[in-house]
Structure 1
Amino acid sequence: MLYFLQNFEIIPFIAFLVVAVLAFAYHEFGHAIVADRLGDMTPRRYGRITLNPFPHLSLMGMVMLVIFGFGWAVTPINPSQLRGNPRTSHAVVAIAGPASNFIMAVLFAIPLRLTLGGYGILISDMPSWLAQFLFVFLNIGVRLNLFLIAFNLLPIPPLDGFWVLRGILPVDLAYRLDGLRQYGTMIFIVVIFLLPYIGISVFPAMNEFATVMYNLLVNWSPL
């Protein structure tokens, strides 16, 4: 997935950064717009109800992305201001981020299918460097957004999957789950960074999900 970050190549690296900015920003925009529609004005007060990607980004998260290939962004919300059941409303806000990434994956996949279909429908008259950039850009656009869906749906606080799981569990189990929140950062570090060193990793499953979905969006044909 991030092979080109370990084996530096300028065109894939630039394409990755552009896609990552869009993927992170519109993931957060998904959270912001749904929270706003459900009555929480916090994202609006922070200027997050905008398609401009930059207000959604974290400077430190982007610096970490450039250096280590791992970044983040955060949307401020106040779950107590959401209409309806607080748990389920928060879950709806949480799932909106991965849903936004799925929409983006589809939007990248459509021109990529056209490009792969004849490898020239979109890029035949372009300079070779631009054609290469576009092809890599679209390919990374699909793969990264699909990977972010799998990553963010891990049921680990503070990832979206935790809030989705909390929203669909029975009340008693949901409140038991709340006990994990205080250990969220520690659990996250252990699962994402430490367990892979002893051969226990969630990344193969996430990559498999991204690969299967990529093939469905880009390569699958009903004929």
Structure 2
Amino acid sequence: MENFLAFPVELIPYVIVVLMIAFTFHEFAHAYVAYKFGDPTAKKQGRLTLSPLAHLDPFGTILIFIAGFGWAKPVPVNRFFFKRPRLAGVLVSVAGPLSNLVIAFIGNALYLILFQTGAFAAMPENIAMVTDQFLRILINLNIVLFIFNLLPFPPLDGYRIIEDLVPNEIRAKMTQYENYGIVLFLILVITPLDQYTIQPLFDFGREAVMTLFNLLLQPLR
């Protein structure tokens, strides 16, 4: 069974906890920014909450364990309520991935603090091991979700950002072919093609993000 999973079986409990944190804050960020720009849709549907049960998507969650990446239940957004739909749309879309980047940064900073202060060494061995595993997965999985959600495929945030940046005529054409984009996206992420398309982007993106973190956290070293 483990051959079909993206994570070793013993790490699954950590992954579940991290997913609840990552997905919940990601979707809450979308809902919160939309609400601040005047859209009450997510709030009325119970999505302006930090309860994981309101945000988890069954298929997107299962895919995390199989492919190593996935998604939560998209937050409903009604652009009718936005005074500046394009600006608000971009900021709402960016808010989700940015929340994952912030979580990964906080996890990285905490890990560095625990290491540099000797807190890891002072912990009982079993607690130090659990803390180490949890923070590593918290950092890595949130970086993956940050990169993954910025990919320019529907229904991901990266695609929505492009929609709000391009002229209306191009946006209309994108809408016509959106279903084909979803099919292409699924083919790329659930077939071996991901090793030649999605995975190299993850590798490059992860390295870039960790380089940024190292620069920002240099004073703690």
Q: 2: distance between equivalents of 1:114 and 1:138?
A: 12
User: 1:64 offset after TM fit, Å?
Assistant: 4.6
Greater mean deviation of Cα atoms: 62-71 or 147-156: 62-71
CA deviation profile, 1:147-200 (whole Å, cap 9, x unmatched): 111111111011100010111123332222222213232121122223617x63
Query: How many equivalent residue pairs?
Result: 217
Query: Secondary structure of 1:124's match?
Result: helix
Structure 2 gaps, min length 5:
none
In the other structure, the counterpart of 2:199 is: 203
1:52 aligns with 2:51: yes
In the other structure, the counterpart of 1:186 is: 183
1:28 aligns with 2:27: yes
Equivalent residues of 2:79, 2:89 under 8 A apart: no
Amino acid at match of 2:164: G
Matches within 5 A, 1:63-74: 63-66=62-65, 69-74=68-73
Q: 2: distance between equivalents of 1:155 and 1:6?
A: 23
Kindly tell me: are residues 218 and 128 of structure 1, through their superposed partners in 2, closer, same or farther at Cα, counting changes over 3 Å? farther
User: 1:99 offset after TM fit, Å?
Assistant: 1.0
User: 1:98 offset after TM fit, Å?
Assistant: 0.5
Q: CA RMSD in A?
A: 2.7
Greater mean deviation of Cα atoms: 202-211 or 93-102: 202-211
In the other structure, the counterpart of 1:97 is: 96
Q: 1: distance between equivalents of 2:171 and 2:155?
A: 15
Among 115, 126, 130, the residue aligned to 2:127: 130
Kindly tell me: are residues 63 and 150 of structure 1, through their superposed partners in 2, closer, same or farther at Cα, counting changes over 3 Å? closer
In the other structure, the counterpart of 1:75 is: 74
User: 1:141 offset after TM fit, Å?
Assistant: 1.2
Among 142, 148, 154, the residue aligned to 1:157: 154
Q: 1: distance between equivalents of 2:60 and 2:199?
A: 20
Q: 1: distance between equivalents of 2:198 and 2:21?
A: 24
TM-score, length of structure 2 as denominator length: 0.84
Amino acid at match of 1:147: V
User: 1:108 offset after TM fit, Å?
Assistant: 0.7
Kindly tell me: are residues 187 and 87 of structure 1, through their superposed partners in 2, closer, same or farther at Cα, counting changes over 3 Å? farther
Amino acid at match of 2:185: F
Q: 2: distance between equivalents of 1:69 and 1:213?
A: 18
Q: 1: distance between equivalents of 2:162 and 2:22?
A: 23
1:147 aligns with 2:138: no
In the other structure, the counterpart of 2:85 is: 86
Q: 2: distance between equivalents of 1:193 and 1:78?
A: 28
Kindly tell me: are residues 80 and 14 of structure 1, through their superposed partners in 2, closer, same or farther at Cα, counting changes over 3 Å? same
Q: 2: distance between equivalents of 1:168 and 1:40?
A: 20
TM-score, length of structure 1 as denominator length: 0.83
